């Protein structure tokens, strides 16, 4: 709640502006008044962009799509935290009631050599797509879907696979990691398929290829500080990293 306004905030925004990957960027300061505490963080950015356009200035580029915490595109680094101050939410699920009247909010793009800035707050996360393409798939026969009860999966395995599959590939883990490591993302994708019967055919090949692709993309090493799990909007567990390391060790023995 904004003091004196009830449901409105006056804010100072310091936003990173960068024309392209090769340009050097800098912070730009903007004042916003009358922001409703019911707005999402992205809706607040929509208001800011409308203001900039009305002043004949260029809108701030940022990624968004579903605005429901599903797609993982709304990658903003807010006051030093991926997706902002709330636990377990994406930027689009963050509401302005999480801030106070008169606050200064600093907004940056994800910072990682493997995620080059395209423009302003939008970064290129094609590295994640290339890691998935290297091995994040299964071999199945085409045709009608089999009855679910034909494939018996122990409940603990199904639960763990489901929890790993909750990863939306937003890259908050990379942004939170001091080394810019993608281990949480890759281990979630490896775990999800390694735990299920359908993923057994490529099991060894998958982990070798995906880890090699991850290294090739220039992500840093994991030092198990746990910042990735703490900032993950879907609460992906560090246990997945341990599982992937076991998978990698097993696959490395011919």
Residue keyed to tokens 């915490």: 69
pLDDT of the residue at 191 = 97
SS3 of 32, please? Answer: strand
Residue of 249, 224, 247 whose CA lies nearest to 237: 224
From-to residues of CATH 1.10.1060.10 in the chain: 126-252
Q: Rounded distance, CA 82 to CA 84, Å?
A: 5
Residue keyed to tokens 């356009």: 53
From-to residues of CATH 3.10.20.30 in the chain: 8-118
> Which CA distances in Å does 189 have to 146, 193, 235, 243?
23, 7, 14, 11
Question: DSSP secondary structure string, 40-104?
Answer: BHHHHHHHHHHHHHHTTPPPPP---S-SSSSS-----EETTEET-SSTT--GGG-BGGGS-TT-E
Q: Rounded distance, CA 99 to CA 79, Å?
A: 11
pLDDT of the residue at 2 = 39
Q: Rounded distance, CA 70 to CA 88, Å?
A: 12
Domain at 126-252, CATH from 2.20.25.90, 3.40.50.920, 1.10.1060.10, 3.60.10.10? 1.10.1060.10
pLDDT of the residue at 144 = 81
**Predicted model pTM:** 0.92
Residue of 179, 165, 114, 110 whose CA lies nearest to 136: 165
What b-and-e string marks burial along 11-25, b requiring 16 or more CB atoms within 10 Å of the CB?
A: bebebbebeeeeeee
Q: Is 60:158 a contact under the CB 8 Å cutoff?
A: no
Q: What is the pLDDT along the chain (254 residues), one digit of tens a residue?
A: 334 445 899 999 999 999 999 999 999 999 999 999 999 999 999 999 999 999 999 999 999 999 999 999 999 999 999 999 999 999 999 999 999 999 999 999 999 999 999 999 999 999 999 999 999 998 877 778 778 778 889 999 999 999 999 999 999 999 999 999 999 999 999 999 999 998 999 999 999 999 999 999 999 999 999 999 999 999 999 999 999 999 999 999 86
Question: Which H or E run includes 75?
Answer: none
pLDDT of the residue at 170 = 97
**DSSP for residue 20:** S
pLDDT of the residue at 5 = 43
pLDDT of the residue at 4 = 41
pLDDT of the residue at 14 = 98
Kindly indicate whether the domain formed by 8-118 is annotated with CATH number 3.10.20.30. yes
């Amino acid at each position: 709640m904004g003091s004196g306004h009830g449901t409105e905030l006056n804010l100072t925004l310091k936003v990173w502006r960068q024309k392209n990957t090769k340009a050097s960027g800098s912070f730009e300061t903007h004042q916003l008044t009358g922001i409703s505490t019911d707005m999402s963080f992205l809706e607040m950015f929509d208001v800011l962009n409308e203001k900039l356009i009305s002043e004949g200035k260029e809108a701030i580029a940022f990624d968004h799509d579903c605005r429901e915490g599903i797609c993982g595109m709304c990658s903003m680094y807010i006051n030093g935290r991926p997706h902002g101050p709330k636990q377990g939410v994406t930027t689009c699920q963050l509401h302005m009631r999480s801030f106070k009247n008169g606050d200064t909010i600093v907004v940056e793009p994800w910072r990682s050599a493997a995620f080059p800035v395209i423009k302003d707050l939008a970064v290129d996360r094609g590295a994640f797509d290339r890691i998935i393409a290297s091995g994040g798939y299964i071999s199945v026969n085409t045709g009608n879907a089999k009855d679910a009860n034909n494939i018996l999966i122990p409940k603990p395995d199904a639960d763990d696979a489901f929890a790993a599959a909750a990863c939306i590939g937003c890259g908050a883990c990379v942004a939170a990691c001091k080394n810019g490591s993608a281990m949480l993302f890759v281990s979630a994708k490896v775990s999800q398929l390694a735990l299920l019967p359908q993923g057994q055919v490529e099991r060894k090949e998958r982990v070798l290829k995906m880890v090699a692709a991850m290294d090739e993309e220039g992500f840093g090493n994991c030092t198990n500080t746990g910042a990735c799990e703490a900032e993950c909007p879907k609460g992906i567990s560090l246990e997945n990293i341990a599982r992937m390391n076991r998978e990698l060790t097993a696959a490395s023995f011919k």
